[in-house]
Structure 1
Amino acid sequence: MSDIIRRDPRAEWIARNRLHPLHAAMQPVQHSWMGPNGVIRKNVHGVGFIGPNGIKRIDRSGAQQGGAAKRTAAVEVQLPLHQVAAPAFYINVVPDMVGGRLSSHDRDLLGLARQLAGSDGAVLAVVFGEHKENAFATAGVDRLLVLEGHAFDGYSPEQRVQGLRAVDNQFNPRHWLLPDSRSGGGELGRRFAASLNERPATRVWQIKGEQCIGRAGAGQQDVARPLPRLILAAAECADPVSDTRHEVLPVELSTALARSLPRIEDLGAVAVDPAAIPMAEAEFIFSGGNGVKDWALFHQTAAALGATEGASRVAVDDGFMARDRQVGASGTWVTARVYVAVGISGAIQHLQGIGACDKVVAINLDPGCDMIKRADLSVIGDSAAILQALIAAVEAYRHGAKRDAA
């Protein structure tokens, strides 16, 4: 068995969340603490282990425990299963599914749908095309409807609205929830509302009873209105589901979708220079810090990956990157789906600036730095060697894709 310690981000999050029902079970046993008079107290009953003959032993070196004193075993948490055999009503959710996976905005939307569904309703997620997501169960999805076909590939708002109309006729949901985002949910929701001749609630960030509150006036004002049937919710509209798992039963349309000639033709994606994308809007950021010694290799790697370049404050102050590339509380707050930090130790201002990023990858020599603790994936080693290997892997992948296409 490997001696590499594997992190469990979910278990760590539960251990920090005091409101989670499994919080107490994730807390480590306290062996020592400071008394009211300043003297360190020790729990003598919490030290040691039970030997093969049933006698408790104390091993200060940890050799007889196989190094257990230096290692914390991962706790497997089995969440309770929430089942809805015969739903009284449906709450339909249409996530953006950028890259075929649920984003943080999508999970917030599913958390809001879970609140509206209660114990009698079911959350029905409507997904277009193939997806790569395998965590619908822990995101709060009770029923899953996948609408497949070439008609839904690329930019196809007319076909998607037609598919949603068919879903609406069959399931007659109490509410429709779509993300009010620039990834497609905002436009699709408004088109769908126009086809239903209904007025949606937009930029909703809170729901109280039969009232919803949305942002207005360039985000400076709140507007309260009665809860409509179609809701376009903003990010952080609710807490994502974390304390239950769900069935994710597949459902299908009872009737085939009618084919129609679209008035909009998708001609494919337009190539955009990553350097021209504003930092706050970039989906993939490749950021460098004080640990980068070969900046020419750093720029080459960013170009090979097609990523937008960023930097820490130290790299900007040293003149290696422009001021508008600085990431952090004193620079730009970013919301990238993937953020790669090369040679960045992780100052508190920098960690605040990347707090909304979905996935963080850290490349660093110091396994104990704060960026490694924050990262979802860590690579320990010399940045120059890792970047060269990364460029070689990207070129091999692209050449293999070209051969397969030929």
Structure 2
Amino acid sequence: MRLRRDPRTERAAHRIDGTARPRFDLAAAAETTGGRLRRNPRAEVERMLVAGTSRRRLDRSQRSVSTPLHIAAPAETAAAPRLIVIEEPAFLVAVVPDAPGGRLTPHDRQMIGAARLLAEKGGAVLALLAEPCEEIGPAGADRVLLVEASTGYDPEGRSASIAMAVDGLGVRHALFPESVDGGDIARRVAADLGEALFAGAESIAANAVTRASRGRRVEQRRAPPRLISLAADAALPYAGAPREARALQDDPMPTVPTRRAILAAEIIPADPARVPLGEAGFVVSAGNGVTDFDGFRAVAAALGATPGASRVVCDAGLMPRAAQVGASGTVLEATCYFALGIAGAPQHLQGIARCEHVVAVNTDLHAAMIERAGLAIVADAQKVMPALLAALECETETTA
């Protein structure tokens, strides 16, 4: 490795002092006193070579540019992000996320991002939750209040408790996701408070909210009211430093006793094998690297996932056309996508762009699907499937 030439330093070394006009002695030898290290591409390629393969392959994650000797190397561990604390907020903006299983959905995160826009001038975001959620602080909430959930399906009791919290705390704005459960709770709270709900807002700012009306021929616009339900993709998630998420009180807020119109209700889970791909939350797909489709279906059944496939598999008739994932098949919005033996064509990657988590199994370290995945296993899918089935059976026997 050698230093790159520094023309300014060489020019200063040739200059003759004591003259009005800049003059230079071109016969003098230039002494290079500065410069930066020149990259050595050959050394970088040697460092990226994957050993033990007959074909020349490079692991580009090992690529690094050498640090010049005169520049201090950055610290290995980055400083922890600063925690934002609001001691005495001027007002509160409440959010009521769905948070199934104590986990925020992308729609919930967008709603909290919208609440941060409304709380810009001295306000704080209050999350009204049915159960604790560890993600709520990084998602942008300053305060947390647990609303005790009654046993069974009781939207009337939950909405009454939320309405009491919104009214009792003097909340300036309350946001709900325009989802199946969130939209139902929003309308019940509006009825309990006797206030109008601005439903299905498609854009939101500190001074205005808008939504489409009359078959999307008219745009309704007004100042943000107290109760708003937000459509999906109407706002960006919060991307700032984590917030404090301080508990507003130690004990959960008790459920308001109500006369229940719904005497009994039970949520019956759907058969994953019959759920349409566009509505599935967990999808396992087979690609060209899968040959044992009986084993693949057994893996999908053991995981409780909906089976899918790449276009190559569907074209070969090994899986039905309705199972095709991709731009020319079904575009997924699943929480988790598990790809077995799929390289990742551009059309297939378009079909999983909205999936929150992607797990991939492929023998090619540099496959596009491996790069897209949050968790990747570089192995043969035919060997991974029986090992996964054995692990699931062992876990079932342990818990039984």
Task: Go from structure 1 to structure 2 and tell me whether the alpha carbon gap of 1:396 and 1:326 turns closer, same or farther (over 3 Å shift).
Answer: same
Other-structure match for 1:251: 248
**2:104 corresponds to which of 97, 102, 105:** 102
Quote the offset at 1:272 in angstroms. Answer: 2.0
> Where do 5+ consecutive residues of structure 2 fail to align?
5-33, 49-58, 65-74
The residue identity in structure 1 corresponding to 2:125 is: V
SS of match in other structure, 2:330: coil
Q: Where do 1:286-365 residues align within 5 Å?
A: 286-365=284-363
Equivalent residue number for residue 140 of structure 2: 140
Preserved CA contact (<8 Å) 1:301 1:391: yes
Distance (whole Å) between structure 1 residues aligned to residue 217 and residue 366 of structure 2: 41
After superposition, the C-alpha distances for 1:93-134 in whole angstroms (9 at most, x for unaligned) are 0111123211111111111011110040000011103x4x42
Work out the CA distance in 2 between the residues paired with 1:195 and 1:388.
54
In structure 2, do the counterparts of structure 1 residues 75 and 335 end up closer, same or farther at CA, with 3 Å as the change threshold? farther
The alignment's TM-score, normalised by the length of structure 2, stands at 0.78
> What is the rounded CA distance, in whole Å, between the counterparts of 2:275 and 2:345 in structure 1?
25
* Preserved contact between residue 284 and residue 337 of structure 2 (Cα < 8 Å): yes
Please identify, of 311-320 and 261-270, the stretch whose mean Cα deviation from structure 2 is larger: 261-270
SS at match of 2:122: coil
Distance 2:232 2:267 in 1: 26
Q: State which drifts further: 75-84 or 274-283.
A: 75-84
Q: What secondary structure is seen at the aligned counterpart in 2 of 1:81? A: coil
Query: In 1, are the aligned partners of 2:147 and 2:254 still within 8 Å (CA)?
Result: no
What residue identity is the alignment partner of 1:259?
P
User: How far apart are residue 234 of structure 1 and its match?
Assistant: 1.3
Letter in 2 for 1:345: A
In the TM superposition, what whole-angstrom CA distance separates every residue of 1:322-350 from its partner, at most 9, and x where no partner exists?
A: 11111111111110111111111111111
1-side partners of 2:111 and 2:84: how far apart? 18
Q: Structure 1 residues 161, 104: CA separation in 2 closer, same or farther (over 3 Å shift)? A: same
| Deviation for aligned residue 1:394 | 2.4
- 1:128 is aligned to 130
8 Å CA contact 1:80–1:243 kept in 2: the answer is no
Q: Scaled by the length of structure 1, what TM-score is found?
A: 0.77
Alpha carbons of structure 1 residues 141 and 209: separation in structure 2 relative to 1, 3 Å: closer
Give the direction of change, closer, same or farther, for the CA distance of 1:214–1:89 in structure 2 (3 Å limit): same
Look up the match of 2:207.
210
The alignment partner of 2:36 has SS state of helix
Question: Among residues 237, 240, 247, which one is paired with 1:240 in the alignment?
Answer: 237
Deviations 1:242-266 (A, max 9, x none): 1222111111279754434533245
Secondary structure, aligned partner of 1:285: strand
Match of residue 224 from structure 1: 221
Question: How do 1:45-194 and structure 2 match up within 5 A?
Answer: 45-47=36-38, 70=62, 76=78, 78-129=80-131, 131=132, 133-149=133-149, 151=150, 153-182=151-180, 184-194=181-191
User: Displacement, 1:136?
Assistant: 2.1
Task: For 1:230, give the aligned amino acid.
Answer: L
Q: Structure 1 pair 154/305, CA: closer, same or farther in 2 (3 Å)? A: farther
Query: Is contact 1:166–1:257 with CA below 8 Å preserved after alignment?
Result: no
Equivalent pair of 2:283/2:305 in contact (CA under 8 Å) = yes
Q: Is the 8 A contact 1:312 1:328 kept in 2?
A: yes
Question: What is the aligned residue count?
Answer: 346
Show the counterpart of 2:194. Answer: 197
> How high is the sequence identity, in percent, across the aligned residues?
38
Which whole-Å deviations, capped at 9, do the CAs of 1:60-80 have from their partners, x for residues lacking one?
Answer: 7769xxx99935697636434
Which entry has the higher C-alpha Rg, 1 or 2? 2
Relative to 1, partners in 2 of residues 1:62 and 1:307: Cα closer, same or farther, differing over 3 Å? closer
Structure 1 residue matching 2:354: 3-state secondary structure: coil
User: In the alignment, which residue of structure 2 is the partner of 1:372?
Assistant: 370
Cα deviation for residue 211 of structure 1 reads 2.5
CA distance in 2, matches of 1:173, 1:258: 18
Q: Does 1:397 align with 2:399?
A: no
